[in-house]
Structure 1
């Protein structure tokens, strides 16, 4: 029995419930049987769980790319909670600790894991990526080394926001963002906004954000964007060229790094054209699987193109950014819901609708 054994009887008496994706546009709160607690696991009572765009996509389509939901699956992966029980081999956590959970469990045996790029592990088991169950539940069991203790002053909601913030942090690392890097962010959705916050925290002296939506641009400006540029959805070459000139004018100089947080043909074309010779384009968003983009003109200017997939080793830095105040994610949390059947359905509707909803958060 784990060190938190006193809580075990109470936990056994109380049935664990979770939000299950059972069919297209159908979520049901149903019992969720937890796996046994391993020696290096912890059982965590979930307190804050955010809705990600991928959660909404699974709800609408039952698939993302080659990940297909073939049987009912517990949804959710942006999460934080309170440790209730620890395995016998766990020494750095105790019952009562508040923790943020990194949702991906890699194999630690393959070349990617051994080389330090565990986010590329082909045997990754990631919350709410089929067939792995997620974390929108009263309790989950998770490896202790993927549960990061939150310092006093960092809330559980902020802990849950470490997951989306990690995408921005990983993108900035991949693109080499620093105090000498002028950064262009394409897209002011949730990921574009955390990329903006991360770029500022990494010391970028100027960050310009581009989007088609006036409201989202206003949010970006309130979060510290030095300029916000509204563009159109027109992908004609002449329109892109004119918009690139407006972006450069807003930047007031070269664009060293572009973080494309949308991932459409037009945004990639804009990124390649706007970034200075020798600069970097980081592909963060995945709007289109296939696209036609003007690569040759970027190649002859030696614009490097790098991709990102999720993140690696980001939670300690995210937590430090939150603790120190270098990053404030609280304004991103626009809607809060409890954990009832009605509220779960309503929360996903609000998140899918977009508009003024940036991050929808469950408080369990």
Structure 2
């Protein structure tokens, strides 16, 4: 492996991975840069492809490099690149939009009709020694941010987008369902945005214990009762007699969706960030009678990565606490096994030295 030019971690099929020396990418567009990838986090979607070979209509038909939560060091720049130079440390935004379709032109490039997203079939991911990106999808890390923190800008940007979709403002009460990495980061961003009450909901006590120490005012474990009863207890325990201002689901679990709708005040805002089953039952009467604002949230859009970097650089959000450990590149599959087993919060895979 030491002689490999661009060693990559490739998914061939369900639970079938290999290390492969892929060609070193070349700069095709003068605005592109080549990054020597240094750290990559493992996301639930990566594990899902490894476990099932597909997510919805996205099916792994050909060998695909995994990974999309990465940071690295610029090793080469195109002739038109102005904002970056060789040696710069950057967080990598892993989805390249076409810039030409209606969503792109409307400023919603995360909804691009021709998105090329890393580690989403048929596009290769970032778990390789080198990766190529346009310069405007790379975010220079301030001196006080490590490359490990840079790898967490991707999930943090997801959380930033969710909380911005919710329109969280100072003094509001926010309930976040799911205390995994994105849910925890939603709690942290809501706190940074000035929410006065941030309540994390989960069915695992160890996650709630971490959430309480991390970025919440309180936590809540649902009982084996109806969603309405859980919502009533959640409101009662947290002084939310009229209901919460904002509910965010980062779990994708149907009971959380129901409880989230019922816990909101009249005119409150509900944002669906977690993905579960493609179809679920939904408390439509409660949503209508309360005249709720209901929104979806998908990846991240304009300004989200920049804000994520600023939140960490300014000390308003701490992502270091989420890093459970780091494994060597050659032990990448072990990281997937750890994540699948629910060990820790965020496991990073170290890159290969130059």
Smaller-chain TM-score bracket: over 0.9
Note the alpha carbon deviations across 1:164-193, whole angstroms, 9 max, x for none: 001110011111011032100011111111
SS at match of 1:142: strand
CA deviation profile, 1:209-265 (whole Å, cap 9, x unmatched)? 111000000110011211111114x4xxx5322211221123312300000111222
Asked if 1:348 is matched to 2:336, the reply is: yes
TM alignment of 1:178-197, pairs within 5 A: 178-197=169-188
Output aligned runs, 1:132-211, within 5 Å.
Answer: 132-211=123-202
Q: 1:332 aligns with which of 310, 317, 322?
A: 322
Q: Distance in 1 between matches of 2:107 and 2:7?
A: 35
- Aligned: 1:289 with 2:278: yes
Cα distance in 2 for residues equivalent to 1:198 and 1:81:
24
Q: Higher mean Cα deviation, 25-34 or 277-286?
A: 25-34
Alignment match, 1:42: 33
Please tell me whether residue 54 in structure 1 is matched to residue 45 in structure 2: yes
2:104 is paired with a residue of what secondary structure? helix
Instruction: Give the one of 207, 214, 224 matched to 1:216.
Output: 207
Tell whether the 8 Å contact from 1:69 to 1:131 is kept in structure 2 after alignment: yes
- 1:127 matched to which residue of 2? 118
SS of structure 2 residue aligned to 1:148:
strand
Q: Which residue of 2 aligns with 1:246?
A: 233
SS in structure 1 of the partner of residue 36 of structure 2: strand
Per the alignment, residue 298 of structure 1 pairs with 287
Q: Contact 2:175/2:244 (CA < 8 Å) preserved in 1?
A: yes
Cα deviation for residue 320 of structure 1 reads 0.5
* Map 1:253-268 → 2, pairs under 5 A: 253=240, 254-268=243-257
Structure 1 moving runs of 4+ over 3 Å: none
CA distance, structure 1, for counterparts of residue 93 and residue 21 of structure 2: 23
**In the alignment, is the contact (CA less than 8 A) between 1:208 and 1:250 conserved in 2?**
no
| Alpha-carbon spacing, 1:28–1:14, altered in 2? closer, same or farther (3 Å) | closer
Q: Over aligned residues, Cα RMSD in angstroms?
A: 1.2
- Deviation of 1:287 after TM superposition, in Å, equals 1.3
Equivalent-residue separation in structure 1 for 2:38 and 2:142 (angstroms): 16
**In 2, are the aligned partners of 1:34 and 1:141 still within 8 Å (CA)?**
no
Q: Which one of 9, 25, 34 corresponds to residue 19 of structure 1?
A: 9
Q: CA deviation at 1:335?
A: 2.1
Q: Within the alignment, does 1:273 sit opposite 2:262 as a pair? A: yes
Task: Describe the superposition over 1:8-56 as per-residue Cα deviations: whole angstroms up to 9, x where unpaired.
Answer: xxxxx96111100011012211112244202111110011100000000
Tell me whether 1:116 sits opposite 2:107 in the alignment: yes
Cα distance between partner residues in 2 of 1:203 and 1:215: 26
**1:188 aligned counterpart, secondary structure:** coil
Change (3 A) 1:316 1:73: same
Aligned counterpart, 1:362: 349
Aligned length: 345
Q: Hey, what does 2:68 align to over in structure 1?
A: 77
**Secondary structure of the equivalent of 1:29?**
strand
**Residue 10 of structure 1 aligns with which residue?**
none
Question: What is the rounded CA distance, in whole Å, between the counterparts of 1:190 and 1:308 in structure 2?
Answer: 16
SS in 2 for 1:184: strand
Greater mean deviation of Cα atoms: 195-204 or 50-59: 195-204
Report SS of the residue matched to 1:96.
Answer: coil
Aligned-partner Cα distance in 2 for 1:121–1:128: 16
Quote the residue 1:310 is aligned against.
Answer: 299
- The match for 1:101 among 89, 92, 99 is 92
1:273-325, Cα deviation, whole Å (9 max, x unpaired): 00110001100001121001111122011011100011112111011101100
